[in-house]
Chain A
Amino acid sequence: MRRFRFVATVLLVACLVMAVGFPAWAAKTIKIGVIGPMNFMQGKGHWNGATMAAEEINARGGLWVGKKKMKVELVKADSNEFLSITDATNAMELLLTRHKVDFLVGGFRTEAVLAMQDIAMDYKKIFIGCGAAHPELCTRVAEDYKRYKYWFRGTPFNSKYLVKTCFIHMATVGAILKRALNIPKVKVAIVAEKAVWVDPMIAAAKGFIPKMGMEVVGVWRPSAVATDVTAELSAIQRSGAHMIFTTFSSSVGIPFARQAGELKIPAAQVGINVEAQKDGFWEATQGMGNYVMTMNTYARGVETNDLTGPFVNRYIERFGEVPTYTADTYQVIIYNLAPVIEEAETLDADKLVAIIENREYVGPGGKVKYMKDAEGRHLHDLTWGPGYLTSLGVQWQDGKLKGVWPNRWKPSKDAPEITYRGIVPYKIAPWIIQEYKK
Chain B
Amino acid sequence: MIADIIIGGLINGSVYALLAIGFSLIFGAARIVNLAHTAFYMVASYCIYFATHKMGIHPVLAMLVAIILVTLIGLICYKLFINPIREHEAAVLIATIALAMAMQEIMLLIFTGDFLSVPSLASGYLKIIGVKIAYQQLLTIGLALLILAGVWTLLKKTRLGLAIRSTADDREVANLMGMNESRVAMITMGVSVGLAAFAGAVVVPLAVVNPHMWMHPLIMMLAVVVLGGLGSLKGSFIGAYILGFAESLVVFLIPMGAFLKGSVALSIMILVLLIRPEGLFGVAFEEER
Partners in one complex: yes
Inter-chain contacts of B12 with A (CB < 8 A): 228, 231
Tell whether B116 is near chain A: CB-to-CB under 8 Å.
Answer: yes
**Is B112 in contact with A39, judged by CB distance below 8 angstroms?**
yes
A193 to B258, CA, bound (A): 9
Inter-chain contacts of B134 with A (CB < 8 A): 230, 259, 262-263
Tell whether B152 is near chain A: CB-to-CB under 8 Å.
Answer: no
Interface-located stretch among B25-33, B119-127, B170-178, B230-238: B119-127
A83 to B23, CA, bound (A): 26
Shortest CB distance B13–A (Å): 12
Tell whether A90 is near chain B: CB-to-CB under 8 Å.
Answer: no
A350 to B146, CA, bound (A): 69
**Is B117 in contact with A231, judged by CB distance below 8 angstroms?**
no
Tell whether A358 is near chain B: CB-to-CB under 8 Å.
Answer: no
Interface string of B103-143 (1 = CB under 8 A from A): 00000100011111111100111000001111011000000
Interface string of B256-269 (1 = CB under 8 A from A): 11110110000000
**Is B112 in contact with A40, judged by CB distance below 8 angstroms?**
yes
A82 to B131, CA, bound (A): 34
Inter-chain contacts of B248 with A (CB < 8 A): 231
Closest B residue to A37 by CB, please name it: B113
Tell whether A182 is near chain B: CB-to-CB under 8 Å.
Answer: no
Inter-chain contacts of A301 with B (CB < 8 A): none
Interface-located stretch among B73-81, B179-187, B191-199, B208-216: B208-216
**Is B207 in contact with A227, judged by CB distance below 8 angstroms?**
yes
Inter-chain contacts of B132 with A (CB < 8 A): 233-234, 237, 263-265
A283 to B262, CA, bound (A): 28
Tell whether B68 is near chain A: CB-to-CB under 8 Å.
Answer: no
A39-B113, A235-B4, A255-B208 are known contacts. Are A263 and B125 too (CB-CB below 8 A)?
yes
Inter-chain contacts of A381 with B (CB < 8 A): none
**Is B112 in contact with A231, judged by CB distance below 8 angstroms?**
no
Inter-chain contacts of B115 with A (CB < 8 A): 251, 254, 275, 280, 284
Shortest CB distance A137–B (Å): 23
A227 to B258, CA, bound (A): 13
A258 to B120, CA, bound (A): 11
**Is A234 in contact with B4, judged by CB distance below 8 angstroms?**
yes
A23 to B261, CA, bound (A): 51
Task: Specify which of B116, B207, B213, B256 is in contact with A221 (CB 8 Å cutoff).
Answer: B256
**Is B114 in contact with A220, judged by CB distance below 8 angstroms?**
no
A37-B113, A40-B113, A262-B125 are known contacts. Are A227 and B259 too (CB-CB below 8 A)?
no
Shortest CB distance A261–B (Å): 10
Closest A residue to B112 by CB, please name it: A39
Number of contacting residues on B, CB 8 A?
46
A231-B248, A284-B208 are known contacts. Are A222 and B259 too (CB-CB below 8 A)?
yes
A350 to B84, CA, bound (A): 61
Tell whether B252 is near chain A: CB-to-CB under 8 Å.
Answer: yes
A263 to B257, CA, bound (A): 23
Tell whether B93 is near chain A: CB-to-CB under 8 Å.
Answer: no
A194 to B206, CA, bound (A): 21
A221-B255, A263-B125, A284-B115 are known contacts. Are A230 and B137 too (CB-CB below 8 A)?
yes
Q: How many A-B residue pairs have CB under 8 A?
A: 118
**Is A228 in contact with B11, judged by CB distance below 8 angstroms?**
yes
Inter-chain contacts of B206 with A (CB < 8 A): 227-228, 255
Tell whether B251 is near chain A: CB-to-CB under 8 Å.
Answer: yes
**Is B117 in contact with A286, judged by CB distance below 8 angstroms?**
yes
A259 to B136, CA, bound (A): 11
Which residue among B115, B116, B216 has the maximum number of chain A CB atoms within 10 Å of its CB? Answer: B115
A222 to B257, CA, bound (A): 8
Tell whether A309 is near chain B: CB-to-CB under 8 Å.
Answer: no
Inter-chain contacts of A221 with B (CB < 8 A): 255-259
Closest B residue to A259 by CB, please name it: B134
Inter-chain contacts of B39 with A (CB < 8 A): none
Interface string of A224-249 (1 = CB under 8 A from B): 11111011111101100000000000
**Is B108 in contact with A39, judged by CB distance below 8 angstroms?**
yes
Shortest CB distance B63–A (Å): 16
**Is B208 in contact with A234, judged by CB distance below 8 angstroms?**
no
Closest A residue to B249 by CB, please name it: A231
Tell whether A223 is near chain B: CB-to-CB under 8 Å.
Answer: yes
**Is B255 in contact with A262, judged by CB distance below 8 angstroms?**
no
Inter-chain contacts of A238 with B (CB < 8 A): 1, 4
Closest A residue to B250 by CB, please name it: A231
Shortest CB distance B40–A (Å): 17
**Is B216 in contact with A225, judged by CB distance below 8 angstroms?**
yes
A220 to B212, CA, bound (A): 24
**Is B120 in contact with A262, judged by CB distance below 8 angstroms?**
yes
A285 to B119, CA, bound (A): 9
A284 to B252, CA, bound (A): 27
A-B complex: 7 closest residue pairs judged by Cβ atoms: A194-B259, A39-B113, A231-B8, A231-B251, A40-B113, A227-B207, A223-B259
Known: A39-B112, A228-B11, A262-B136. 10 other contacts (CB 8 A): A40-B113, A226-B258, A227-B207, A230-B133, A230-B134, A231-B4, A232-B258, A254-B117, A258-B117, A262-B125
**Cβ contacts A to B, 24 pairs, < 8 Å:** A221-B257, A223-B258, A223-B259, A223-B261, A225-B212, A225-B216, A227-B206, A228-B12, A228-B207, A230-B8, A230-B134, A231-B248, A231-B252, A234-B131, A235-B4, A235-B252, A238-B1, A251-B115, A254-B117, A259-B134, A262-B123, A283-B53, A284-B208, A285-B117
Q: Which chain A residues have a beta carbon within 8 Å of chain B's beta carbons? A: 37, 39-41, 44, 82-83, 193-194, 218-228, 230-235, 237-238, 251, 254-255, 258-259, 262-265, 275, 280, 283-286
Q: Which chain B residues have a beta carbon within 8 Å of chain A's beta carbons? A: 1, 4, 7-8, 11-12, 15, 53, 108, 112-120, 123-125, 131-134, 136-137, 206-208, 210-213, 216, 247-248, 251-252, 255-259, 261-262
